[in-house]
Amino acid sequence: MRFARYEQHGRRHVAVLDDDGRLHPVPGEDSLLDLLRTGRLREAAAALALTAGPHVTDVRLLPPLEPPTIRDFVTFEEHVEGVRRSIDGSDGVPDAWYDAPTFYFTNPYAVIGPYDDVPVPPGSQVLDFELEVAAVIGREGRDLTPEQARDHIAGYTIFNDWSARDLQSREMQVNLGPCKGKDTATTLGPYLVTADELEPYRDAEGFLRLALTAEINGEVVGADLLSNMSWTFEEMIAYASRGAQVRPGDVLGSGTCGNGGCLAELWGVRGRDSRPPLKPGDTVTLTVEGLGTTSNTVVPGAAPVPVPRARRRIRERP
């Protein structure tokens, strides 16, 4: 099943999408997160048998859900190699990366729809996209094994982790990870595709062999396979749930794919002159086999609100 959220005539709806692109609204529902939390996602699929609503092209698609948390992993070795050269000039992959599927928490309030505009982050001159796939948790769990984790995945969606590379590069020198560099926009959509729909793509090692493509203004700049991840989504969830809860609606991003899944990787491989950062007017289109397509256009952003530099204090003691 493919679930969507959309807005029409000032009202928001949750719907099931049929093969002809018609949306079948779930009666009385405007939140996919509520359906996940109450375990009624499969029940809601019965909406397909009801009268069809508008065509998907006639409404504004919203993010499929408003996630309570977003963990973004970094599971593609090729991406780490390229971006590390681009961000801090280092070669290779840190040995610690191989220990476990590392992640950071990003801003759930910055989620935007699959076709919404993306403002340039305040103060940034080096905007980038990142082509990822996300798993969405459907059942609560803690200290899960990878085998158990599979039953906790409700479905998958496309994930674009928009990144202000200049802000990111400076902030990460403080060793607190990406902060404002990753704070202003994350695309989810266009749909939540239930996990059973993607089982035919699963390979013998448990990876989903989905084709990924990134385009800027209609030109292909990146193409990879999701199965090039170094950990499966089930392994990522097991690690995320170690000593912690994962709950319905939590989003776990795969991390950026390789072979041009973002501009920073291309800069690390081919040099900074290979392709300029994104600017207002550029449209980034991401396509994932089995999941659909997102397309966001960059627009001018707000000017940064001034904040002073740190004050060097005379250190008093009580």
- Supply the mean pLDDT for the chain: 96
Q: Which pLDDT value is given to residue 176?
A: 85
Q: Find out whether 17 and 54 touch, Cβ atoms under 8 Å.
A: no
Q: Which pLDDT value is given to residue 273?
A: 83
Residue 177 has pLDDT above 80, yes or no: no
Residue 86 has pLDDT above 80, yes or no: no
Q: Which pLDDT value is given to residue 128?
A: 98
In eight-state DSSP terms, residue 198 is G
Give the ranges where the chain is alpha helix by DSSP (H): 32-37, 41-44, 77-88, 146-149, 165-171, 233-240, 263-270
Crossing angle between the packed helical segments 263-270 and 77-88, to the nearest 10 degrees: 70
**Phi and psi at residue 203, in whole multiples of 5°?**
-95, 180
Beta-carbon contacts of 315 under 8 Å, excluding residues fewer than 6 positions away, are none
Q: 251-288 pLDDT, tens per residue?
A: 999 999 999 999 999 999 888 888 999 999 999 999 99
Average pLDDT over residues 4-17: 97
Q: 287-303 pLDDT, tens per residue?
A: 999 999 999 999 999 99
Residue 165 has pLDDT above 90, yes or no: yes
Residue 229 has pLDDT above 90, yes or no: yes
Nearest-angstrom CA–CA distance, 22 and 145:
38
In eight-state DSSP terms, residue 304 is P
Q: 113-164 pLDDT, tens per residue?
A: 999 999 999 999 999 999 999 999 999 999 999 999 999 999 999 999 999 9
Beta strands (DSSP E) in the chain are 2-8, 11-17, 23-25, 60-62, 70-73, 103-106, 111-112, 118-119, 127-128, 131-137, 141-142, 153-161, 163-164, 186-194, 211-216, 219-225, 245-246, 251-253, 283-288, 292-299
Q: 18-63 pLDDT, tens per residue?
A: 999 999 999 999 999 999 999 999 999 999 999 899 999 999 999 9
pLDDT band at 173 (very low <50, low <70, confident <90, very high): confident
Q: Which pLDDT value is given to residue 121?
A: 98
Q: Find out whether 234 and 241 touch, Cβ atoms under 8 Å.
A: no
**Residue 181 amino acid letter:** G
The CATH number assigned to the domain with range 70-299 reads 3.90.850.10
- Which residue, 51, 49, 50, 33, is CA-closest to 41? 33
Q: Which pLDDT value is given to residue 271?
A: 87
pTM of the shown model: 0.96
- What percentage of the chain exceeds 90 in pLDDT? 91
Q: Which pLDDT value is given to residue 266?
A: 94
Tokens linked to 114: 């699959």
Domains of the chain, by residue range, sit at: 2-62, 70-299
Q: Which pLDDT value is given to residue 73?
A: 98
Nearest-angstrom CA–CA distance, 211 and 192:
17
pLDDT band at 71 (very low <50, low <70, confident <90, very high): very high
Average pLDDT over residues 238-256: 98
pLDDT band at 212 (very low <50, low <70, confident <90, very high): very high
Q: Which pLDDT value is given to residue 243?
A: 98
Tokens linked to 107: 């801003």
Tokens linked to 194: 């239930």
